[in-house]
């Protein structure tokens, strides 16, 4: 037989035959390896997944502590695609694009798809969100804005809170607070006198006056007497109304009680070399005043002026 092979098959034919055998062998290894990897993947996910459609949910991971559960559900409903299946390769991209357009989302960190069972899955969203810090009053209307002056949906802004043994929970409306808990209205300082008209929801409000007003709101919000402060008035920003009046004023009032005007002035120029009293010193004036008045800022005097080298207060 070997003699016949040598006589009838050339050396080149022998080489081709060997190459064909090796090719068939390698194909068998690749196919078997792919099947093994698929089986291992299914095992790692908790067993053999049955074929069929996968039902999935979206999760905010994590949900900010200030965000009401109702608002979280509103965001998820807004960014959930209507006609995309869990296995659709464009699912995460579609959700990401919707998140970027949502007014509550400041930045998207990740959108991850996770198979949790034979016919179940979850898409986890990691993002940072815009927290409302103040109200802006203009032409008889109220707008809520975040730290950057972005206008947020009024009806979706948390307005009440309640506390129990597990902590503080936030709600969109008073009606959402459980009957066994005492509703507490969330205190937002109102910025008045902004010159530019409001932009659309999800857009930053133009103008340096609101930027400076929100800077002052953030400074005041760190104080234990922040809930006594009702208004930051920026109508004289850059002295556009009067050269002799303070550029910014703050009003402290509790309920329908007597209001106290706090003459704040302006912030120093960022490049330095300014004669204006530093914000830290102005806040120290207010801290000392409140301590002297047993925690009261509003209603004791008609005005408090923090623009000078010493605190000035009204006689009444």
- One digit per residue, pLDDT tens: the chain, 316 residues? 444 444 444 455 555 556 655 555 554 555 454 444 444 444 444 444 555 689 999 999 999 999 999 999 999 999 999 999 999 999 999 999 999 999 999 999 999 999 999 899 999 999 999 999 999 999 999 999 999 999 999 999 999 999 999 999 999 999 999 999 999 999 999 999 999 999 999 999 999 999 999 999 999 999 999 999 999 999 999 999 999 999 999 999 999 999 999 999 999 998 877 889 999 999 999 999 999 999 999 999 999 999 999 999 999 8
Tally of helices (H runs) and strands (E runs) in the chain: 6, 15
Q: Give strand ranges (E) for 154-265.
A: 160-164, 167-171, 184-185, 189-192, 229-233, 249-252, 260-263
pLDDT of residue 52: 67
3-state secondary structure 75-116: HHHHHCCCCCCCCCCCHHHHHHHHHHHCCCEEEEEEEEEEEC
pLDDT of residue 50: 53
pLDDT of residue 154: 97
List the beta bridge partners of residue 57. 122
pLDDT of residue 19: 62
- Whole-prediction pTM value? 0.81
Residue 203, C-beta contacts closer than 8 angstroms, at least 6 positions apart = 150, 151
Q: Is 228 exposed, middle or buried (0-12, 13-18, 19+ CB in 10 A)?
A: buried
Q: Which of 125, 116, 113 is nearest to 86 (CA)?
A: 113
List the beta bridge partners of residue 169. 162
pLDDT of residue 271: 83
If DSSP codes are grouped into helix, strand and coil, which group holds residue 209? helix
Helix boundaries (H) for the chain: 2-8, 11-44, 69-79, 91-101, 208-221, 279-292
């Amino acid at each position: 037989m070997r003699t016949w092979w040598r006589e009838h098959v050339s050396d080149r034919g022998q080489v081709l035959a060997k190459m064909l055998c090796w090719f068939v062998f390698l194909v068998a290894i690749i196919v078997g390896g792919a099947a093994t990897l698929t089986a291992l993947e299914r095992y790692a996910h908790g067993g053999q997944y049955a074929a069929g459609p996968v039902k999935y949910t979206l999760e905010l991971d994590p949900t900010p502590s200030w965000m009401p559960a109702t608002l979280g559900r509103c965001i998820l409903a807004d960014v959930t695609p209507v006609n995309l299946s869990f296995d659709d390769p464009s699912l995460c991209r579609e959700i990401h694009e919707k998140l970027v357009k949502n007014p509550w989302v400041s930045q998207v960190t990740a959108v991850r798809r996770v198979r949790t069972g034979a016919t179940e899955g979850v898409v986890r969203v990691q993002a940072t969100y815009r927290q409302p810090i103040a109200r802006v009053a203009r032409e008889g209307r109220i707008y809520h804005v975040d730290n950057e002056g972005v206008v947020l949906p009024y009806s979706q802004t948390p307005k009440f809170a309640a506390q129990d043994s597990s902590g503080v929970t936030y709600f969109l409306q008073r009606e959402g607070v459980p009957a066994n808990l005492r509703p507490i209205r969330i205190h937002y300082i109102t910025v008045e006198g902004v010159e530019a008209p409001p932009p659309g929801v999800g857009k930053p409000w133009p103008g340096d006056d609101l930027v400076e007003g929100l800077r002052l709101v953030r400074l005041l919000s760190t104080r234990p007497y922040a809930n006594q402060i009702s208004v930051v008035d920026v109508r004289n920003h850059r002295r556009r109304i009067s050269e002799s009046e303070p550029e910014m004023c703050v009003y402290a009032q509790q309920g329908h009680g007597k209001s106290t005007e706090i003459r704040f002035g302006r912030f120093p120029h960022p490049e330095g070399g300014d004669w204006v009293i530093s914000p830290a010193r102005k806040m120290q004036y207010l801290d000392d005043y409140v301590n002297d008045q047993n925690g009261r800022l509003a209603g004791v005097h008609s005005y408090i002026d923090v623009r000078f080298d010493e605190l000035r207060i009204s006689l009444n």
